[in-house]
Homo-oligomer: A and B are copies of this chain.
Amino acid sequence: MSGKVSVAIVGANGYSGEELCAILARHPSVSVVAVTSRQHAGKPAGEVLPRLSGVGEFSKLVFSEPAMHSLLGSGAEFFFLALPHGLAAEYAVPLWEAGKRVIDLSADFRLRDAEVYREFYGDQHPAAKLLPETVYGLPELHRDAIRAAKLVGSAGCYPTSILLPLVPLLKAGLIDSGDITVASASGVSGAGRKAETALLFGECNESLRAYGLPKHRHLSEIEQELSLAASRQVTITFTPHLAPMTRGIHTTIFSRLAAGASAEAILPALEACYANEPFVRVSQNLPDTKNVTGTNFCDISARFDARTGMLILLSAEDNLVKGAAGQAVQNFNLMAGLDETAGLL
Contacts and interface: CB of A to CB of B under 8 A. Distances in A.
A303 B213 contact: yes
Contact of A286 (B15, B210, B288): B210
Given A195-B196, A196-B195, A209 B304 contact: no
Contacts of A68: none
A242 B254 CA distance: 18
A289 B278 CA distance: 31
Given A290-B203, A294-B294, A250 B209 contact: yes
A204 B201 contact: yes
Nearest to A200: B199
B286 A209 contact: yes
Q: Name the residue in A241, A286, A303 with the highest tally of chain B Cβ atoms < 10 Å from its Cβ.
A: A241
Interface of A: 15, 26, 47, 50-51, 53-56, 181, 183, 185, 187-189, 193-197, 199-211, 213-215, 235-237, 239, 241, 243-248, 250, 252, 254, 278, 281, 283, 285-295, 297, 299, 303-308, 310, 312, 314, 316, 345
Given A193-B200, A200-B193, A293 B206 contact: yes
Contacts of A239: 183, 252, 254, 312
A254 B237 contact: yes
Contact of A208 (B53, B185, B254): B185
B201 A243 contact: no
9 tightest A-B CB contacts, nearest first = A214-B305, A183-B183, A207-B290, A209-B288, A201-B204, A188-B201, A208-B250, A237-B310, A213-B303
A325 to B, nearest CB: 14
Contact of A206 (B206, B210, B286, B305): B206
Counted per complex, copies of this chain come to 4
B193 A195 contact: no
B254 A215 contact: no
B209 A316 contact: yes
B210 A188 contact: no
A275 to B, nearest CB: 11
A20 B163 CA distance: 33
A202 B189 contact: yes
Contacts of A54: 278, 281, 297
Contacts of A308: 181, 235-237
A283 B312 CA distance: 30
Contact of A200 (B188, B283, B289): B188
Nearest to A294: B294
Nearest to A207: B290
Contacts of A250: 208-210, 241
